Amino acid sequence: MARKKILVTGGAGFIGGNFVQYMVNKYPQYDIYNLDLLTYAGDLTKHRDIEKKDNYHFVQADIADRSAIMPLFEKENFDFVVHFAAESHVDRSITEPEIFVRTNVLGTQVLLHAAKQIGVSKFVHVSTDEVYGELDFDPTAFFTEETPLQPNSPYSASKASSDLMVRAYHETFGLPINITRCSNNYGPYHFPEKLIPLTISRVLNDKKVPVFGDGKNIRDWLHVIDHCAAIDLVLHQGVNGEVYNVGGHNERTNLEVVKTIIKTLRKSEDLIEFVTDRLGHDKRYGIDATKLENLGWKPTYTFETGISQTIDWYVNNKWWWEQIISGEYKNK
């Protein structure tokens, strides 16, 4: 019986990288192909424990480069595609939106075309709750899979566009797909420009921690390993054509997250520095993941457990994030 081949795009990034490790270790009978361009946020040092495993393969390529993608699909004849690769930092999308359109929209279309041409069994598109826009501070209001798409940043607009392209390939060409939309992820190997790793690294170095506006913006935090388990379930059991929200049931204000990290590391809240608010900064995200829970998934991490383990990981793995901050990882 032929071994299943799974292409994971963006597998040198944060969520995709954790997913690659999760799948390589859980499914030795699958061949896992990690496709990544290795932009500034891509890092292969995180895979040093799996890179010699027989079922792990790395391919460096640009998902928006049709001349590279089509021959790869035709040669390997992938069974499944799990698509993480994306420009994802909101602040960068405000200053350089065209890069987000090229990677997130055109890149997704190139992958969809290739997947259609070879007839993959499932294309799982990993998206974000930010495509829904924002919620007010009513704790009873949540995003469901039926919430209209109302993106507010160039980043979320590019992700919403890619979601619609995935839907179109399903409706027009019959491509088997699922779309997952997750809340904010955290955990090991999170690039240090994002809130939690930025805060941990700065607090450990006694540097000021920037907090946008008044810090009252609310996010639902999802541990990356819970997210990996959710995508694994959707890949194998998701109903063709369906969207699944993935949420951690862990809503916190940005200021609460920062203060939790500072308290855990026994440092002073004097390190907090309020800065000019981000343009178009969404007030609150909150996920209703009932549909996915009915499929058989539930988060295993509480925020308290997850953030404590995450802080410990950053304390014990300075080798990883220090080389990211210094830029040394680009030379490896």
Active site residues: 129-130, 155
Rounded Cα gap, residues 14 and 52, in angstroms: 20
- The answer to whether 202 and 209 are in contact (CB under 8 A) is yes
Rounded Cα gap, residues 19 and 46, in angstroms: 12
Rounded Cα gap, residues 206 and 269, in angstroms: 11
Measured from the Cβ of residue 193, the count of other Cβ atoms closer than 10 Å reads 15
Order of strands across the sheet that contains 218-223: 184-186, 218-223, 251-253
Rounded Cα gap, residues 294 and 257, in angstroms: 29
Q: How far apart are the first and last CA of the chain?
A: 37
* Burial of residue 171, with CB atoms counted within 10 A of its CB: 0-12 exposed, 13-18 middle, 19 or more buried: exposed
Rounded Cα gap, residues 132 and 151, in angstroms: 6
Rounded Cα gap, residues 167 and 224, in angstroms: 25
What phi and psi, each to the nearest 5 degrees, are found at residue 145? Answer: -65, -15
Rounded Cα gap, residues 142 and 135, in angstroms: 7
Cα–Cα distances (Å) from 174 to 116, 123, 198, 241, 332, in that order, read 9, 11, 42, 9, 42
